[in-house]
Structure 1
Amino acid sequence: MESKSGLEQYLDNVCGEVKAKKMHAEIHSELSSHLEDLMIEQESLGASQAEAEVLAIAQMGDPKAVGKDLHHIHKPRTPWGLLGALLLFSAIGLLGMSSLEASFMNNPRVPSSFLPKQFSFMLIGIALMAACYFINFRRLQKLSWLLYIFSIAGIIASLKWGLYANGSRTYFLAFGGIVINLVSYSPYIVLVALAGIFSKFKADGKLGTKRNLLPELFILLGPAAAYIIAGPIPVLLLYLVCSLILYTWLSGAWLRSTLIGGFFLAAGLRYAWNNQQMRDRILGAINYNINPESSGFVYKTLNEVIASAGWSGHGFGAEFERLSYAYSDMLPAYLIYCFGWGGGLVLLGVVLWFMFKLFFSVHAVKDDYGKSVIIALSLILAMGLFYGLLVLSGKMILTYLPFPFMSYGGHVIIEYAALGLLMGIYRRKDLTPAEHESRTIRGAL
């Protein structure tokens, strides 16, 4: 057996300090190239090949020190900012539920069971978040078509076999008696599937080409058709906005996306204007004085509730009977009613911090598929947060889109899981080969 050269032994010693084994080949290649440059430089100064090798290795430095520096670069990264924002959201949500529980103590007609159930939802969500955090996200790309088909099949199945609740037959009874809405939760799965499918098209040079137009339109509009049949307009709008932004970012086909979005916008406006109930809701949001006792009543009341809070609010456990659904859609409004405009600014700060960290994670990940999944999940979470804040203005049309991580319901389970997957992708960003610039290696020397 031939003994290894000094250069090979040096490279093995460096890689021995780096626990991310998938990075060894890239590190080996980068360092070999750098060592060769140093040897050529020494040989040009008159050193022999053997002397140039020794001098190049000496110039590179102690292999263990170099290896430890590279291990520090290529180690799991915990997104503490996102995790911290999640903890704050959860704490604020539980505080709101606790306040509601306290307010219900004086009203025996109202069941006070929101807090324990919400806590159960959060525990299940945390378990799923941990599982998604440690999963190898690249394996999901192979399951993209399965996830896509499963999502659409779940929407159709819910219409035939789902439980009828809250005016919709889209619910299923899950473990522990928890009722889940497959249609409302499906955009998370569909968008992850689209990220995988379109990333593969892009890698094959097909995405955005005229040749691939029909397959791409079919893939994009398939879930939209299912949502139209199922009936939840908010979920349809959420899917269309997020999917078109994701598709445009991956393909660069902004004109195609604009035409699709424009078509749905025109059709939606026509439908809304021809529907008396929906037209009244739109007019009520624009100016609640048009119909202050009917379609504008809830918007008028919301404005009055926010205005009455002042900077200090009405205190913990304040009774809140003027608006329905204080535990879900109106939870941010209830928090401001209890803790004032100062509490609202705290909530706004947490939301902005969370969105900033989402934006940062998108730019930090280099893997195309991983970046696509992060964009998909970030879009749907950001849309929910953005809508929840706009509701507080009293000018946003009210519909069922729960405030992520905080408002009551099983939706927090999939939101925790989605954030777990997002954080897991960020965690692995330096553990697998990517297009690192040479300065990444040199910066460790």
Structure 2
Amino acid sequence: MKNIVLGAGIAGIAAAYELNRNDIKSVIFEKNNDWGGLLDNFEIEGFRFDKFVHLSFASDKYVNDIFYQTEFISHDPVSQNFYKGHWLKHPAQNNLFQLEKEEKEKILADFKSRKDKDISEIANYEEWLRVQYGNYFAENFPMVYTEKYWTVEAKDLETKWVGNRMYKPTLEEVEQGIVSSETPNTYYAKEMRYPTKGGYKSFMMPMVKNLDIRTNSGVNKINLSNKTITLSDDITYEFDNLISSLPLTEICKLINDVPSHVIAASEKLNYTSGYLVSLGFNKPDLADKLWFYIYDKDILSARVYSPSMKSPDNVPEGCSSIQAEIYFNKGQKLDLSDAEILEHTINKFIGIGLFNEEDLVVKDIRSEKYANVIFDHHIYENRKIVLDFLEKNNIISVGRFGEWEYFWSDQSLLSGKNGAIKLLEKINKKPIS
């Protein structure tokens, strides 16, 4: 029986791993020159950078039994926010102490005068933000950040994705955070973990040991009628079963004779792409924040973090590093060259006092087409059309972009595992508990 997995990110790896645990062999085809997907990393002159920020706070036993076979460093989930020259503890909504008196008064007054609405009455994310935090804070903090991170206005997003990702403080917590910097950490995770060596993808090492992963093997065509895939080198493989972690927007371009309404639905699915600006320094202590968020409109970067703080193994001895994320919509790059974006980022960071020009020994910019799924108002109907088509044609779709969900790495791993279980139940013709 020929079982093929498309994509060697964490979901594809997890699917093949779970099949292998049940004595079912598979082949993974990966278009890049290494496995890992968005959990992969790259090195420049001894500096290692992950593709986007990754820290684990997984609680699922299945995930942790895999991840924590690898030695790791534990971090307190302490992050900060940069806003108009001020450094605020995270989350900002209940840590406003550093702001000027007048601005704190505006935030508090609007917080007290919020409209009391049931979640069923809230039409979009902008309204949700105003109801939770009041108009002034919503307009100057999360609504600005939404445009930087999600690349759309808050009113264009629905709200089911929010979950516990946005802290909702009480009036007492807001008032305490206005008069004192001594506030409890209200981040939704209690501990963040990162491999001691090898970057975040090292957590995946226990899964890849006995897998057949074929890199530099992008898919050009999927023929459902004769159950074959054709790779970029024009070699064709037959399959009996197919698990895909490819983005829904991509797989529909590869399959023969996809109905026009399915193609149309896939093209309406929205997502962010991202630049990664990676900077290495010749001093050990320039990067002193594990990660932070930037709310200023005139700074392109939305989120910044320190690979060297995550693990000293990520930099040469005596050095430190940071990496910034800048987002753009659906593969449509900003109207600036990569060199201009890199220069802008460096100059802005020097301007806010993160480092000096002479401290830089590595500076790099690159981009990833797929960063996050955008939860606009039509995501669920369009996603369902595509997933129903794939299921009808016996393609099991897994992962962040295969299920088109807001998955963290542990959730993507479980998505891959669950996809494998679906296939095992099909092969064994009985449910697997």
TM-score range, shorter chain: under 0.3
Q: Larger % of helix: which?
A: 1
Q: Flag the structure with larger Rg.
A: 1
Alignment TM-score, normalising by the size of structure 2 = 0.24
